[in-house]
Structure 1
Amino acid sequence: MNNIQFKLLLLAIGLPFFLNAQESNEQLARKAADPTALIWQLQIEDYWKIKSNDGQKNANNLRLRAVIPFNKTKYYPEHLLRITTNWQIQYSGQQNLSNTEIFDLLIPKRYNWGAYSLGPIIQLPTHAPYDETQSILAFGIAVGISINTPKIEKWQLDILIRYLDSFTNDANRISSLKIQPSLTYHINNGYYLETEPEISLDLYKQDNYIPINIRFGRAFSLRSLKINAYIEPEYSLVDSNNKNTQWGLRFGWRFILDK
């Protein structure tokens, strides 16, 4: 872990404990945990890959994501435009900018129990010199369900399923199915526990990865700025190629602005 990572980790862990609520942190936490909430977000997340399953140590992934909300119009439902890119430091020490993913999440209708969503995905290549998979254009679709109702009190449940394919027949083909269930328990005053593992199934190469994780976080207000800060250790249960991350640690900040 480098000096910058260490400082971000201290901020993610320490600052939320010393802040008092300026509004309902409970409501803010529920909104922050809802993937269909119409809120602006700038997300910064660092994933320290402590050790891989084949014994390599200390890789890193810095993820930047912007979430832009759009209200319902006569011709288009509510939707969230999500733009994500990552700066990667490989176990070998080589660095590159990953593919950029653009995801438009449509929310056709809301119900008293929550909402369902779906939308198109496009992956734009970066032509990274150290990773041939980062030079592939791919398209896909995602569907999701978000259950967020007072009837289940402190709990929230979400699931997002994404499929991405490059429609090529070479060795670097992308044919990826990612299943991301999310279960959140709201403790009090914006504090929460959450598990949100991303199960990755490669339908072309039969390369499967199933992790488990637990996130401890807090949503809070710092003057007019609304923040969701968290720390999340992760461990791999299944790694079919024995090269993915075995132990990892995420810590992140999500800056929130209501639309």
Structure 2
Amino acid sequence: MKLKMLKKGTTKTVRDNTAALLLLFVGFFSGFAQETEENKEPQSGSTSVKLSQEVMNPTTLAWQLQLEEFAIFKTEGQDGFAQNFRVRGIIPVKEGFLIKVPQLIRVIAFFNTAPDGRTGLGDVTLNQFFILSKKDWGQFGAGWNIQIPTRTDDQLGSPQWSLGPAFTVTFTNLGKWQMYWIWENFFSISENDKYGSSAYAVLQPNVFYTWSNGVYAGIEPEWQIDYKTGKVAIPMDFRVGYIWSGKLKYNAYIEPEVMAYRSDGYPRNSANFGVRLGFRWYLPM
């Protein structure tokens, strides 16, 4: 697969944007790290590992606000800097009205920029996971997704409503390791006569190692497969992060990502290289 090189002018813009993003990340990190030093309580190494794993576990019942900037420096077939800014809120429910099991409701919104500079809202996704089984080895959950076409430009999102089931399996009894899988499905349910029907899945394998000082490292790529054509996009990333506890629980990370393989003509993920900067707040129930 051939990747187009960025022009000199674009390279300078990318360099400036990268520096700005890194400064923003360091500012967030320094401020909250200082608060942590002022408020933290002594804890053993095992407690710190446990804290990190609880924060990273996607089935942990906790109120969360997650901000993530994905700066895209190389896009297949296009020149120019692009970005996806994601805001995700997570609402925990100890017991539902109809289904009497713990639940997590996620609301995800995007503010995107295309390589040609067009900027605006992306799509909004709602999903709900039911924690159906909790064992010594981990948890199993299932639920549903709905994608709402709220994009302000066709380059920034999909023109169709999509709906589908979702599943998650978490393995937590692995010492300082943690592994979980998320499988989400999206099937178009509107405008099929105009745009054609679509059916694809997002499979997210997550493997992390946590140290006793709150530092962790691992992978969290989002692999995609088109059910109709069999075409795939398989990015790979590497995340380094830090989790600490002050007034709330915090998680900050940096995550470079490169497209390891993409089928010719796959339409939904054209990012060849980018860097994610994320910050998350957690408030236990």
Q: Is the 8 A contact 1:50 1:59 kept in 2?
A: yes
Aligned with 1:9 (options 11, 25, 28): 25
| CA pair 133-255 structure 1, distance change in 2 beyond 3 A | closer
Q: Secondary structure at the match of 2:158?
A: helix
The amino acid that maps onto 1:247 is F
Alpha-carbon distance, 1:122 to partner = 0.9
Higher relative contact order at CA 8 Å, sep ≥6: structure 1 or structure 2? 1
Alpha-carbon distance, 1:148 to partner = 0.6
1:246 aligned partner: 272
The amino acid that maps onto 1:157 is M
1:156 aligned partner: 178
Alpha-carbon distance, 1:202 to partner = 2.0
Judging by fraction of residues, say which structure has more helix: 2
Q: Show the 5 A alignment for 1:170-185.
A: 170-171=194-195, 173-185=197-209
The amino acid that maps onto 2:277 is F
Q: Is the 8 A contact 2:166 2:182 kept in 1?
A: yes
The amino acid that maps onto 2:127 is F
| CA distances 1:214-252 after superposition (whole Å, capped 9, x unpaired) | 100011123x12110000011111122377111110011
Q: Is the 8 A contact 1:47 1:61 kept in 2?
A: yes
| CA pair 211-57 structure 1, distance change in 2 beyond 3 A | same
Alpha-carbon distance, 1:135 to partner = 2.4
1:217 aligned partner: 241
2:216 aligned partner: 192
Judging by fraction of residues, say which structure has more strand: 1
Flag structure 2 segments of 5+ consecutive residues without an equivalent: 1-16
Q: Is the 8 A contact 1:49 1:249 kept in 2?
A: yes
Q: Show the 5 A alignment for 1:3-42.
A: 5-11=21-27, 14=30, 19-20=36-37, 21-22=40-41, 24-42=47-65
| CA distances 1:75-114 after superposition (whole Å, capped 9, x unpaired) | 4210100110110001010012111110000001210111
Q: Is the 8 A contact 1:213 1:232 kept in 2?
A: yes
Alpha-carbon distance, 1:163 to partner = 0.6
In structure 2, distance between residues paired with 1:93 and 1:132: 11
Alpha-carbon distance, 1:38 to partner = 0.4
Per the normalisation by structure 1, the TM-score is: 0.90
Higher alpha-carbon Rg: 2
2:10 aligned partner: none
Flag structure 1 segments of 5+ consecutive residues without an equivalent: none
Q: Show the 5 A alignment for 1:76-91.
A: 76-91=100-115
1:116 aligned partner: 140
Tell me the percent identity. 25
In structure 2, distance between residues paired with 1:27 and 1:219: 11
2:254 aligned partner: 231
In structure 2, distance between residues paired with 1:173 and 1:4: 40
In structure 2, distance between residues paired with 1:50 and 1:63: 17
Q: Is the 8 A contact 1:121 1:139 kept in 2?
A: yes
What number of residue pairs does the alignment pair up? 256
Q: Is the 8 A contact 1:146 1:157 kept in 2?
A: yes
